[in-house]
Amino acid sequence: MRRVSPDLQDLVKDLAVPTSSKIVLVVIDGLGGLPGDEGSTELEKAATPDLDTLARESICGMIDPIARGVTPGSGPAHLALFGYNPLEFQVGRGALAAAGIGFNLELDDVAARINFVTVDEEGKVADRRAGRISTETNKELCRLLNGMQLEGTQLFVRAVKEHRAVVVLRGRGLSDALSDSDPQKTGVAPIEVKALSPEANKTARIVNGFIQQAREILSGHYPANMILLRGFAKSPRLPSFLEIYRLRSAAIAAYPMYRGIAKLMGMDILVTGETVEEEFKTLRENFDKYDFFFLHIKGADSAGEDGDFKRKVKVIEEVDRNIPTLRHLAPEAIAVTGDHSTPSVLKVHSWHSVPFLLRSAWCRPDKVDKFSEEACLRQGGLGRFPAVEVMPLLLAHALKLTKYGA
Amino acid sequence: MRRVSPDLQDLVKDLAVPTSSKIVLVVIDGLGGLPGDEGSTELEKAATPDLDTLARESICGMIDPIARGVTPGSGPAHLALFGYNPLEFQVGRGALAAAGIGFNLELDDVAARINFVTVDEEGKVADRRAGRISTETNKELCRLLNGMQLEGTQLFVRAVKEHRAVVVLRGRGLSDALSDSDPQKTGVAPIEVKALSPEANKTARIVNGFIQQAREILSGHYPANMILLRGFAKSPRLPSFLEIYRLRSAAIAAYPMYRGIAKLMGMDILVTGETVEEEFKTLRENFDKYDFFFLHIKGADSAGEDGDFKRKVKVIEEVDRNIPTLRHLAPEAIAVTGDHSTPSVLKVHSWHSVPFLLRSAWCRPDKVDKFSEEACLRQGGLGRFPAVEVMPLLLAHALKLTKYGA
């Protein structure tokens, strides 16, 4: 007798077998909502005849991305959906930012988030967004900062969006055990980056050297006359989808961040367009080539963050119009859900649970007749459950898991 | 403050007190189902007036045997129902097979599953079931292989069913850290058994010697001209029901496998007949002698595995006809459930949750008015919960658990 208590993913790894069945996981980013002026959530308000039909054929439920009350960032929310315990596997902000722009981190690279900011004459942070500079200005500034060589280490600087950028250090003996330079408030000076362990001394020196040079280079570029760094991180080493689930997997995502996250799990990244329709077209064109597809739709989250209830409704309706394409492909298991909630009334990610549907020939039907928070919660046969259980459920419903124990 | 996180069973052990109240746990093996041609599951289709009445007086719910999406074997599924974390306590295949035929393993015995197979002239496995030999032939072959003495170790060989048998090694200094000889596919030769730790060298030698002699003995017995061994295991040492729950417990099971599992928890095994009615008669006759009864009904699982929807319905109806006997005995707590689902449409164990009812004078009633997947799921006051929580609930509802903390 062994006395061990493996975690769910380890257990699933032991049980997963490769088969010809196919799984499609559709993630409508920020799907969950709160009632707007008329008392319905965005999903409830949206006209979704095809999602509703799918829900009637599915077993439904509500997922908690991390834990009740915990609002997730995009990284942990997707890790959880993919079956990786987000409290165990942590993707540092720098690594996530690099993934987000499609910058492939090598094994010993150290990445950090950059914010362009305004400092006053005393060097104190006056505006944490540098007067909301444009992405174009950001790109010009990154070109100025890019390409330094410090102590044999190469520094790459890449724009993300608006005032946000990324720096990647590539060299020998680098460490990510570094404190942030970002003081997280205005009226105080940037903080010197400190090594949090002796092995990081060299990296701290390099980073502080970079910051010093950046200060000089940017001095004439008011309002973006300084940078703040935070979230130093190496690339996380995640076991791949193939290794754990025996799945040949592919990601279809218009936004680079989600392609970056999918790449961390070893998914192939499929070239796709900007629209929901193009994403589903990419799914159709590549359907024969993979066992698992992650199809990510960004618009609902963006609309929620903008507080635009109507636009979020429209994005959901746009997804609905593409459900027939998905249905026609007839994968053995389909899930439609979100990575987290982004209620328009809150304008940010939130902790609320997220509607979930799973369609398969082998799902036990429930009484859900509409894809909505209300119906999934009250009538959903899966009840309320943590997002890390989504992958085991999908694999089971595609008959890809063998029996546990004799 | 101490930060400890005892597992549930450890907690229950601290709280359990012996009382005169009685608990009966009725396990309808493979109870959970999926809709058949007419849109109802086996349980929904069955006419179960007495179970329905019981459900109305009960608090109901749905249990997940191991975890969402995970299909359990009989061993882990029963461990969970009995409150033993099935990921922590693992019963090896050999030990389970020995338990299954009522062979009592001594502390240092090592058991393994045998498959009789056909090998071709080059010694490669050609048929993993030896042409589906009869149980009778199996018994004859086991008699030929039984009784060897190798390096002071006694070998017992016992038939299970069809091509399946068990070998038990009894001697000094044996180890179960051995690899399988079963290559798990045809067209390749059996694999030599290897010691997975140095202490197992002697046992590996003995096992390979046994296999060599078996090959010679069986050479003239085509199609069963070879054996494959797998799942070497000693008897698991599980804490007993008396030790953990302070329960004098008894098992009533027509099938040997389930008597074997119950014995691992120290339950007394009551002699009973082959039918459901005889099992309930055994319960009645022994009701005064124990605090806890495990009553196991195999037929529903067998029918499900045969894909025989109607026969599974009939087994459930047969259980229903015996519910008045149970009710008349008036144990303080009654549970009726299954160890897992075996939907006739799938013909195998599955991952689906299982209906559960618990009747006691102290249960908070819910709105379930029929014992079915649908009603337990939608109306069940216990919601959906892991099977390892069944025993704490039963003990509580029989007023056998004291308060936790002051």
Helices of type H across A219-248 = 241-245
Partner B contacted by A396 (CB < 8 A): yes
pLDDT at A100 (0 to 100) = 83
pLDDT tens for residues A103-142? 989 989 999 999 999 999 999 999 999 998 999 999 999 9
Do A396 and B70 touch, CB atoms closer than 8 A?
yes
pLDDT band of A405, cuts 50, 70, 90: confident
Tokens standing for residue B273: 């007949």
Residue from the list B70, B85, B95 with its beta carbon closest to the beta carbon of A11 = B70
Which residues have C-beta within 8 Å of that of residue A331, sequence separation ≥ 6? A21, A22, A23, A24, A287, A293, A398
pLDDT at A102 (0 to 100) = 83
Rounded distance, CA A192 to CA A177, Å? 14
In CATH terms, the fold of domain B95-233 is Alpha-Beta Plaits (3.30.70)
Rounded distance, CA B318 to CA B309, Å? 14
Do B324 and B49 touch, CB atoms closer than 8 A?
no
Domain locations in chain B as residue ranges = 8-90+238-397, 95-233
- The chain-wide mean pLDDT, for chain B, equals 95
pLDDT band of B386, cuts 50, 70, 90: very high
Instruction: Convert B110-123 to b/e letters by CB count within 10 Å (16 or more is b).
Output: bbbbbbbbbbeeee
pLDDT at B4 (0 to 100) = 53
* Fold matches, A8-89+238-397 and A95-233: no
Partner A contacted by B346 (CB < 8 A): yes
* Res. A2: pLDDT tops 80: no
Partner A contacted by B367 (CB < 8 A): no
Measure A31 CA to nearest chain B CA, in Å: 23
Nearest Cα residue to A160 out of A256, A91, A73, A296: A256
pLDDT tens for residues B177-198? 999 999 988 999 999 999 999 9
Partner A contacted by B196 (CB < 8 A): no
Q: Lowest-confidence range among A51-65, A98-112, B359-373?
A: A98-112
In CATH terms, the fold of domain B8-90+238-397 is Alkaline Phosphatase, subunit A (3.40.720)
Average pLDDT over residues A165-184: 96
- Contact criterion met (CB < 8 Å) for B73 and A403: yes
Residues on chain B touching A3 (C-beta within 8 angstroms): 88-89
The secondary structure of chain B in percent helix, strand, coil, rounded to multiples of 5, reads 35, 20, 45
Residues on chain A touching B90 (C-beta within 8 angstroms): 1-2, 4, 405
Partner A contacted by B85 (CB < 8 A): yes
pLDDT band of B1, cuts 50, 70, 90: very low
Residue B24: phi and psi, rounded to 5, are: -125, 125
Residue A137 DSSP code: H
* Res. B137: pLDDT tops 90: yes
Residue from the list B68, B77, B238 with its beta carbon closest to the beta carbon of A389 = B68
pLDDT band of A406, cuts 50, 70, 90: confident
Q: Which long-range contacts (CB under 8 A, 24 or more apart) does A128-134 make?
A: A128/A163, A128/A186, A128/A228, A129/A162, A129/A163, A130/A163, A130/A223, A130/A224, A130/A225, A131/A223, A131/A224, A132/A162, A132/A163, A133/A162, A133/A163, A133/A223, A133/A224, A134/A162
pLDDT tens for residues A336-387? 999 999 999 999 999 999 999 999 999 998 999 999 999 999 999 999 999 9
pTM: 0.89
- Contact criterion met (CB < 8 Å) for B89 and A15: no
Do B187 and B125 touch, CB atoms closer than 8 A?
yes
Please count the CA atoms within 13 angstroms of the CA of B2 that sit on its side-chain side: 3
CA distances from A129 to A126, A165, B161 (A): 9, 12, 74
- What superfamily in CATH does domain A8-89+238-397 come from? Alkaline Phosphatase, subunit A (3.40.720.10)
How crowded is residue A273: how many other Cβ atoms within 10 Å of its Cβ? 12
Partner A contacted by B6 (CB < 8 A): no
